[in-house]
Amino acid sequence: MNSNKIQKPLPANGKLGVLIPGMGAVATTFIAGVEAVKKNIALPIGSMTQMSTIRLGKRTENRQPLVKDFVPLANLQDMVFGGWDIFEDNMYEAAKTAEVLESKHLEPIRKELEAIRPMSAVFDKAYIKNLDGPNVKKGADKMELANQLMEDIRNFIKLNGCDRAVMVWCASTEKYVEPSSVHETLDAFEEGMRNNDPRISPSMIYAYAALNLSIPFANGAPNLTCDIPALIELAYRTGTPIAGKDFKTGQTLMKTIVAPGLHARAIGVSGWFSTNILGNRDGKVLDDPENFKTKEVSKLSVLEEIFDPQNNPELYGEMYHKVRINYYPPRGDNKESWDNIDIFGWMGYPMQIKINFLCRDSILAAPIVLDLALFMDLAKRAHMKGIQEWLSFYFKSPQVKTGLRHEHDIFKQLIKLQNTLRYIMGEDLITHLGLDYY
């Protein structure tokens, strides 16, 4: 099935609505950053669409435009924001609570942030035990809740005069669920929605609402959400791009930078121990073992797939990989992570690498939200539908077609992304062979 019959993208005219379930630390940092960039008082650092260049043609041609000047992306001035949260705080108040950005950055955009108030959320405490809030929808069944979300989306688009919209899930991590019969087909899923099937999570209801309206959906958390056959089916039916899961920031970003290097030079790894402390609301939610499990599964798969122990048993067959997250309130959003990597080289001699990353979680996540919103909108205008594997670059646990190996190596992910952009725009793909220069 060639479901991605790509066409030259339609121009990005008019306003792009960015709809965000979960308006906490990541969402407010993202929105505040874009508003600050719009006012020329900040730079969108970390956003490859805004800051990175892309090589076109041969090295001798010297063509290196910025990505945003190469592909027709929505202009940041044309972006408008809305979303849902279980708390009623406007974006200024929520940003204050999140304690990521300082007053000197929030005050100049206070008016814009105060104007954005979260719509009432679809929420189920069974999926997030450590949270409770007043701003929650009521409905007889899950289908009715989905209809209410669709009504919210239509109203938002109308009120803001949007030409197009995308949805990026930035809400808390839900408890771990395995795909089961209700997730298998769209019919079973819709039946489950009408019967209030407990296996359908709130994030799936948001994704269902978006996809029904042909609105691209990207999943920033490790929840299953649209990574189930029923919603993949809906995405293809409605011609809508989907991508996920779990923004690749912090420790996993470092892993997918360092591990491909060790693998490339055939350095052995006997153990990789990762631990971190995190004190924000995300950390609180992940303090519940059922929610941590969802994150753990997403984080663990990365090394296995980069090192491929089945095909490299002498180097990685015995590797022990452990990941811990510890909730530690004093640090707030400023996560600290430690990695101890036990490696071995020539003739088996052991060595160690220590990585101590003092990062800011939402500062790393915000540019990903921006790029995903812009690229998902681009994909839609290029008539791409279903799973957008070329956006794996941004995810810890990239969604791929069933049966395909994930590609976690960030450098291969980047080449895939850049070649997809070249392909969309009718430019030559770059293989890096280079023999023709000689």
Ligand X SMILES: NC(=O)c1ccc[n+]([C@@H]2O[C@H](COP(=O)([O-])OP(=O)(O)OC[C@H]3O[C@@H](n4cnc5c(N)ncnc54)[C@H](O)[C@@H]3O)[C@@H](O)[C@H]2O)c1
Residue 245, preceding peptide bond in cis (omega within 30° of 0): yes
The single residue among 49, 251, 362, 392 that binds ligand X, judged by CB under 6 A, is 362
Give yes or no for a contact between 392 and 406, defined as CB atoms under 8 angstroms apart: yes
DSSP annotation string for 348-414: G-EEEEEEEEE--HHHHHHHHHHHHHHHHHHHHHTT--EE-GGGGGGBSS----TTPPP---HHHHH
Site stretch for ligand X (CB under 6 A), options 5-13, 61-69, 70-78, 356-364: 356-364
Chosen residue from 56, 79, 210, 221 binding ligand X by CB under 6 A = 221
Rule CB under 6 A: is residue 393 a binding residue for ligand X? no
What Å distances lie between residue 255 and 233, 234, 249, 315, 340, CA to CA? 33, 34, 10, 17, 11
**85 near ligand X, rule: CB under 6 A:** yes
Which C-beta is closer to ligand X: that of 343 or that of 369? 369
DSSP track, 177-212: ----GGGTSHHHHHHHHHTT-TTS-HHHHHHHHHHH
Q: List beta partners, residue 79.
A: 16
How near is the Cβ of 400 to ligand X at its closest, in Å?
A: 18
Minimum CB distance to ligand X, residue 397 (Å): 10
Tell me which stretch binds ligand X (CB under 6 A): 59-67, 139-147, 280-288, 299-307. Answer: 280-288
Q: CB-wise, 18 or 424, nearer to ligand X? A: 18
Rounded to the nearest 5 degrees, what angle is found at the Cα of 351, between the Cα atoms of 348 and 356?
Answer: 150
* Binding status of residue 247 toward ligand X by CB under 6 A: yes
Ramachandran category for residue 196: left, alpha or beta (phi over 0 → left; psi -120 to 50 → alpha): left
Q: Is 364 in the site for ligand X (CB under 6 A)?
A: yes
Q: Least distance (Å) from ligand X to the CB of residue 78?
A: 24
- Please identify which residue in 112, 190, 246, 339 interacts with ligand X, judged by CB under 6 A: 246
CA 291 from chain centre, in angstroms, equals 17
State the nearest-atom distance from the C-beta of 123 to ligand X, in Å: 4
d(CA 225, CA 189): 12
Residues 409 and 16: their CA atoms lie apart, in Å, by 31
Quick one: which of 81, 84, 156, 208 contacts ligand X (CB under 6 A)?
Answer: 84
371 counts as binding ligand X under rule CB under 6 A: no
Using the minimum distance from each CB to ligand X, give the nearer residue, 220 or 386.
220
Among 79, 106, 128, 149, binds ligand X (CB under 6 A): 128
Half-sphere exposure of 83 (CA within 13 A, CB side): 29
Q: Which residue is nearest to ligand X (CB)?
A: 24
Measured from the CB atom, the residue of 89 and 407 that comes closer to ligand X is: 89
- Segment lying near ligand X (by CB under 6 A), choices 54-62, 170-178, 181-189, 229-237: 170-178
72 versus 244: smaller Cβ distance to ligand X: 244
245-253, 306-314, 317-325, 425-433 -> range binding ligand X (CB under 6 A): 245-253
The yes or no reply on residue 167 touching ligand X (CB under 6 A) is no
Let me know how many helices (H) and strands (E) the chain has, helices first.
16, 11
**Residue closer to ligand X, measured from CB, 88 or 187:** 88
Question: What is the DSSP code (8-state) at residue 155?
Answer: H
Residues 17, 44, 250, 386: which binds ligand X (CB under 6 A)?
250
**13-42: contacts with ligand X (CB under 6 A):** 21-26
Continuous segment of H or E residues that includes residue 423? helix 410-424
Angle between helices 250-264 and 361-381 (to 10 degrees): 80
Residues contacting 9, CB < 8 A, separation 6+: 71, 72, 378, 381, 382, 424
Is residue 87 a contact residue for ligand X (CB under 6 A)?
yes
Of 211, 239, 213, whose CA–CA distance to 225 is shortest?
A: 211
Q: Report in angstroms how near the CB of residue 209 gets to ligand X at its nearest.
A: 12
Residue 418 beta carbon to ligand X: minimum distance, rounded to whole angstroms:
23
Binding of ligand X by 387 (CB under 6 A): no
Nearer to ligand X, 220 or 268 (CB): 220
Contact 222/298 with Cβ under 8 angstroms?
yes
* Residue from the set 47, 49, 249, 337 that interacts with ligand X by CB under 6 A: 249
Q: Is 405 exposed, middle or buried (0-12, 13-18, 19+ CB in 10 A)?
A: exposed
Interface with ligand X (CB under 6 A): 21-26, 84-87, 98, 121-123, 128, 131, 133, 170-173, 202, 220-221, 246-247, 249-250, 280-282, 361-362, 364-365
